[in-house]
Amino acid sequence: MRPDPALLSSVFTGCMLLAAFFAIGRTRLTTFLRHYAASSACLAGVILVSAAVSGNPAEYAGAAATLVLKVVLIPLGLLRTARKLGDAMRLTSMTRPVLSYTLAAASVAGAWLLARRLPLSAASGRAEGGELPLAGLLFVALALILLGFLLIIIRRDLYSQIIGFLTLENGISAFAVVALGGVPFLMEMGIFAVAASGVVLMAVLSGQVHALYASHDTDALRELTD
């Protein structure tokens, strides 16, 4: 039996949001990275289903690159960096878990309101858009973007901020699927290359922060103020 693409896409979309949402309260680096990897794997699934529907080879490549980069390489790389530096595996948040989850819920609610207002869900840019539940994906894409922002704001350690940025990036990838059914192949690869270089640079910088301040806490970074 051929699985229903709409159902599959919905499941992936929902799981992507759940994984990102519950990452908010996690304070062990390994668990936190696992949540990110799970959310990214679901994103790869969404892109794969979209590729199967549209037959666009760029989307297959996008799904493969998402799997390799965001599910395997980036989480493992960050974990290795942290282990090498001997950083504590406990992450620090400015807010207690209950408040973190409340803020996350507010972000998700905000994304839902925003998704209804964006003049995008009515008709997708692609012809076969009707086959996929794009309204839901738009909502989840916006939710991931807001959750990414939230992580960057409430977390005080560099790893969480990197993951916050990457969560935001995942939201944008999902948004690209909604808006254009994926972008052309070369552009897709360019965006991946740029994002990957950015994360490598962030990891290098967090190594330098560690060497200078013997901590990965952003509280150490308070020298430059006016």
Partner 1 sequence: MSLLLLLLVPAAAAVLAAAAPDARSAGRGAVAASLAGAAALAAAAWPVVAAGERWFGGHWMLDRFTVTMAGLVVMVWVSAAAASTRYVGAEHDAGILPLRKVRLYYVLMPVFVAAMLVTLLTDHLGVLWIALEVTTLATTPLVALYRKDGAVEAAWKYLLLCSVGISVSLLGLLLLAYAGVRGGLPLGSALSLSALRGAAGSLDPQVVRWAFVLLFVGIGTKVGFVPLHPWLPDAHSRTPSPVSAMLSGVLLNVALYALLRSRTIVDLALGSAAWTSGFFLAFGLASVLFAAFVLLHQQNYKRMLAYHSVEHMGLIAFGLAMGPAGAAGAVMHMVGHTLAKSALFLSAGEILLRVHSTKIPNVGALRGRMPRTSIAFLLGFLGLIGVPTSAIFASELTFLMAAARLAPAAALAIVLALVIVAVGVLHHVFEMIYGRVDAGGDRPGATPGSPVREAWTLTHVVVGAQLALLFAGGVFFLTPGGYAAAERVAAAFTVRP
Contacts for 123 with CB less than 8 Å, ≥ 6 apart = 129
Name the phi and psi angles at 93, rounded to 5.
-125, 150
Give, as one character, the DSSP assignment of residue 31.
H
* Residue from the set 113, 197, 214, 219 that interacts with partner 1 by CB under 8 A: 197
Alpha-carbon gap, residue 164 to 149, rounded angstroms: 6
Q: Rule CB under 8 A: say whether 209 interacts with partner 1.
A: yes
CB 76 to partner 1: min, Å: 21
Tell me if 91 contacts partner 1 by CB under 8 A. no
Using CB under 8 A as the binding rule, whether residue 223 contacts partner 1 is answered as yes
Q: How far is the CB of 89 from partner 1 (least distance, A)?
A: 21
Cβ proximity of 39 and 167 under 8 Å: yes
Q: Is 155 helix (H, G, I), strand (E, B) or coil?
A: strand
Q: Is 108 in the site for partner 1 (CB under 8 A)?
A: no
Closest approach, Cβ 226 to partner 1, in A, equals 6
Rounded-to-integer distance, Cα 172 and Cα 193, Å: 15
**Per-residue burial over 37-68, b = 16 or more CB atoms within 10 Å of its CB, e = otherwise:** bbbbbbbbbbbbbbbbbbebebbbbbbebbbe
Q: Helix, strand, or coil here: 217? A: strand
Smallest separation (angstroms) from partner 1 to the CB of 191 = 7
117-146 binders of partner 1 (CB under 8 A): 118-120, 123, 125-126, 145
Of positions 154, 198, 215, 217, contacts partner 1 by CB under 8 A: 198
Whichever of 8 and 103 has its CB closer to partner 1, that residue is 103
Q: Could you tell me how many residues of this chain bind partner 1 (CB under 8 A)?
A: 42
Shortest Cβ 2–partner 1 spacing (Å): 27
- CA-to-CA distance for 40 and 99, rounded, in angstroms? 25
Q: What are the residues whose beta carbons fall under 8 Å from the beta carbon of 165, sequence distance 6 or more? A: 148, 152, 198, 199, 202
Contact between 157 and partner 1 (CB under 8 A)? no
- One of 3, 205, 214, 219 touching partner 1 (CB under 8 A): 205
List of residues contacting partner 1 (CB under 8 A) = 118-120, 123, 125-126, 145, 149, 152, 158, 161, 165, 168-169, 172, 175-176, 179-180, 183-184, 186-187, 190-191, 193-194, 197-198, 201-202, 205-206, 208-209, 212, 220-224, 226
